[in-house]
Structure 1
C-alpha cells in the first residue's frame, strides 16, 4: 500500500486560492476515481474537485471555511501500489484536524538506578489516603420532579453556599433538570433581596458565535469592496398601469413562459443602454480603464437558500421578450437549486435587483463591482396619482438606480433613469428597434 497526495489544482482564470466549502468524503471512506472529494469556492463559483485515483481517505487539509493556496496539499489517499509520497514522508502522517491528541506515555514515579538496590526487597510504602470525595450527585435524567414539601434538589456546593448566606432553598425555584437549584438560581435569589425567582421568562444570556464562511463570506467581501466605491443613487417614480395592462393581455393571449414585470424591465434596460452605452461597462481603477461591452449581459440578483447570487442572462440585446422571460425563470431556478454552472454566475455587465412583493417604497442598491450601474426594482402598488385634473388610482412603482460616481456623472445617471421611466410608462416603445 502507498500514499497518494492530491494538491489544490489550478482552477483557472488567475485564481490563486480557494476556500473549502464542503468535504464530500470523510476520513476512512473509500473513494473511486473521478468521485468528488471536496467542494471549493472561488471568487467566481463553487467547484467540485474529483479524485484522480481510487483509495481510502486518510488525511484532509482543513475544515470548511479554511482557505488554501493553489498547489497546497489537499488530501492524502491510501492506494494500492507505491503511491506518490516518499516512504519517509508517509511514515508520519499528519493527523486529521479533529483527531484528539494521543495520550502521553505514563512515566514511572521514580527512576531506579542501574544495579541491585537493597531497598528493592523492602515492601512498597503505603499509598497516601485518598482525599474525601463529595457524595455523587443523582443523575439529572433520573431525578423525578420535586413535589411540594419535598427536599429541594441541589448540589452539595449549592447547599453549602445557601447555608453560609442563610438562604432557605425551599423558597427557590430551580432552573436545572427536574427542578434542580443551580448556583445561578441561588445568586439570582440573593441579588433580588431574598425574593423568589419569577416564574415567567428568564433573561437569555447565551451568545452564539457563527463563523462567516462560504458564500456568505464572499458576499461580505464583495459588499466591503463595493462600499469603497462612491455611489450616486437616483429614485424615480413611474406609472406602471399601461405596462401591467399590456403584460396581462400578452399573458392571456399566448402560451409559453409567463411574462413578469422583470422581463419588461430587462428589455427596457437594453433599450436605454443604446443611448447610454457607457453604463454597460466595467471600471478597472488600478489600470485606469473603462471596459465598455457591446453585448448586454444582465446580472439578476436572486435570493437563494445559500445566500444572494447573481446569475447572468447573456446577450439580452439579441433576445425577444419571451426568450428573456424564459431565461430569467431558468436562471433563477438554477440558482436556487444550486445547479447553476460557473459560466452562468460570472461576466455580468449591468445588474437588476428586485425584492418582488417584499420590496419597499425605495431602496439603495449597492453596485455589483466592477460594474458601473445597477437598477433596483421596488414594490408595485396601487396609489392615487394626479393626472392633471383629478386623482386616479394607478399602479405605481419606484426605480432605485445606483451608479459608480467616479466615472458616471449625475447628469448621465439622470438621463438613463428618465429614459427607463419613459420606456416603462409607454411600453410600446420597448418594442421599437433602433
Structure 2
C-alpha cells in the first residue's frame, strides 16, 4: 500500500487559498477514482474537488469553514503502488458551480420560478417537505360530535393543513365554524375568525423555538466580508425618486398577451433597458474605481449585474452587453441565468465583471431602500414595490401605479448632481415606454 497526497490545485488566477464548504467523504471511506471529495469556495465560485485515484481516505485537511492554501495537502489517500503526491496543477477538474442549494428567483420572476425552501446542513442542502393538506372531521379531532352551524356544517370534513389544525386546536377553535372563500381553511381565515370572536377565544402562548447555532461559511461568509469591506471603504449616499409606471405596466401586459414563444416579461427587462440608456448619457455611474491606484474607469458598454436571492445568500449574475439587447433578449437572459444559478451551473464569468447592479425585491420591495454598492462598482439601484396612488393629473384625481427607485452611489466618484440628473433621465424612459422599444 502507498500514500497519495492530493494537493489543492490552482483553481483560479490570483487565488492564494480556498475555503472548505463541504466534505463528501470522511476518514476511513473507500473511494473511487474521480469521486467527489470536497467543495472548495474561492471568491463567489464553488469548485468540486475530485480524487484522481481510488483508495482509502486516511487524512483530511481541516473542517468546513477552514481556509486551505493552494498547493497544500487537501487529502491523503491510501492506494496500491508507490508513494506519490499530486502537485498543485495535477488531475483536478475545474468545474465551477454555485453549490448544491436550490435558488430562489428574484421576486420579479416569482411567476416563472416557484420557490423551493432549502435547509442547509454541513454544506449540503435538502428540500423541506411541504405540509400535505388533510381532510379531517373536527368532531373527531375534538372527540365529540360537532354542534357547529358554519360553512361545513355539523360533522363535516374540513380541509386544512396540519399546522392550521394544530393552531386551531391550541386556540380551542372548531374549524367547522371558520368561514373561508377557498376550498380549505388557512391561517388568514383563522386570523379573521379570531378578530371577530376575540372575546370568546382563549389562546395559549406558543412554545418558544429552540436556539440555533449556525456557522458562517461559504457564500454567507463571503457576503459578510464583502458588505463589511464595502461599508468601510465606500462613502455611500442614496437618492430615492418616484416614477409613474402605469403606461409601462400597460405596455408590458400588452406585449405578454402576444409574446408567442418568448418568455413572459417582468418589469426587470424594461428597467434594465432604461438603465442602460441612462448610463450611456451619464457614464460616471457606469464605472469602476480602483481606490488603491486612484484610477476610475468609465466603461463604454453596460455589464448589468442582477442581484438574485438564493437559498445560500445574495448572488449577482451578469448580463453581458445589456445595452445591445432587446427586452425580449434580456428576459431570456435573466431566465437563463436564474436557471443556471438554480441548478448550480452558473460559471465564474457569469458571476463577475458587472459595471452596474440592479437589485429588486418585487412586491416585497418596500417604499424605499438603501442598497450597498458592490465594489469596484460605483453605483447600484434598488427597485421598490409598485403601489396604486391617488395623484393629480391635468387637474383631475386619478389612480396611478407609482414606484420608487433607490440609487446608492460612491460619493468619492459620483456627485449628487450627476446622480439626480441620471434619475431624471430615467424618468424620460420609464414614463414613456415607447422610447424603450424604439
> TM-score normalized by structure 2?
0.70
Contact preservation (8 Å) 2:44, 2:222: no
Per the alignment, residue 219 of structure 2 pairs with: 215
Shift of 1:431: 2.8
Distance 2:375 2:360 in 1: 18
- 1:241 corresponds to 2:249: no
Q: How does 1:150-189 map to 2 (within 5 A)?
A: none
Normalized per residue, which structure has more strand?
2
Contact preservation (8 Å) 2:44, 2:219: no
Per the alignment, residue 41 of structure 1 pairs with: 41
Q: How does 1:138-287 map to 2 (within 5 A)?
A: 207-228=211-232, 229-255=234-260, 256-287=262-293
Per the alignment, residue 54 of structure 2 pairs with: 54
Shift of 1:207: 4.8
Shift of 1:337: 2.9
Contact preservation (8 Å) 1:57, 1:75: yes
Distance 1:293 1:49 in 2: 36
Shift of 1:406: 0.6
Distance 2:423 2:64 in 1: 43
Per the alignment, residue 65 of structure 1 pairs with: 65
Distance 2:229 2:379 in 1: 15
- 1:290 corresponds to 2:296: yes
Shift of 1:386: 1.6
Shift of 1:278: 2.1
Shift of 1:250: 0.8
Distance 1:403 1:307 in 2: 23
Per the alignment, residue 178 of structure 1 pairs with: none
| Residues 286-319 of structure 1: per-residue CA shift (max 9 Å, x gap) | 1111122222111111111111111111111221
Contact preservation (8 Å) 1:234, 1:414: yes
Shift of 1:37: 1.8
- 1:394 corresponds to 2:374: no
- 1:430 corresponds to 2:436: yes
Q: Secondary structure at the match of 2:323?
A: helix
Larger RCO (CA within 8 A; separation ≥ 6): 2
Distance 2:206 2:305 in 1: 47
Contact preservation (8 Å) 1:303, 1:336: no
Shift of 1:204: 5.9
Mean alpha-carbon deviation: is it higher for 379-388 or for 260-269? 379-388
CA, structure 1 residues 383+35, in 2 after alignment: closer, same or farther (shift >3 Å)? same
Structure showing greater radius of gyration is: 1
Shift of 1:201: 6.1
Per the alignment, residue 77 of structure 2 pairs with: 77
CA, structure 1 residues 294+54, in 2 after alignment: closer, same or farther (shift >3 Å)? farther
Distance 2:208 2:358 in 1: 41
| Residues 336-385 of structure 1: per-residue CA shift (max 9 Å, x gap) | 33222222111111100000111101111111111111111000121111
Q: Secondary structure at the match of 1:310?
A: strand
Q: Secondary structure at the match of 1:47?
A: strand
CA, structure 1 residues 206+36, in 2 after alignment: closer, same or farther (shift >3 Å)? closer
Distance 1:380 1:9 in 2: 49
> TM-score normalized by structure 1?
0.70
Distance 1:323 1:226 in 2: 32
The one of 370, 373, 379 aligned to 1:367: 373
- 1:352 corresponds to 2:347: no
Per the alignment, residue 345 of structure 2 pairs with: 339
| Residues 112-147 of structure 1: per-residue CA shift (max 9 Å, x gap) | xxxxxxxxxxxxxxxxxxxxxxxxxxxxxxxxxxxx
Per the alignment, residue 31 of structure 1 pairs with: 31
Per the alignment, residue 93 of structure 1 pairs with: none
Q: Secondary structure at the match of 1:209?
A: coil
Distance 1:258 1:423 in 2: 21
- 1:405 corresponds to 2:404: no
Contact preservation (8 Å) 1:270, 1:317: yes
Distance 1:33 1:419 in 2: 58
Contact preservation (8 Å) 1:3, 1:78: yes
Shift of 1:83: 2.2
Shift of 1:15: 0.8
Shift of 1:430: 1.5
| Residues 47-98 of structure 1: per-residue CA shift (max 9 Å, x gap) | 112222222211110111111111221100111101226xxxxxxxxxxxxx
CA, structure 1 residues 14+76, in 2 after alignment: closer, same or farther (shift >3 Å)? same
Contact preservation (8 Å) 1:33, 1:52: yes
CA, structure 1 residues 333+69, in 2 after alignment: closer, same or farther (shift >3 Å)? same
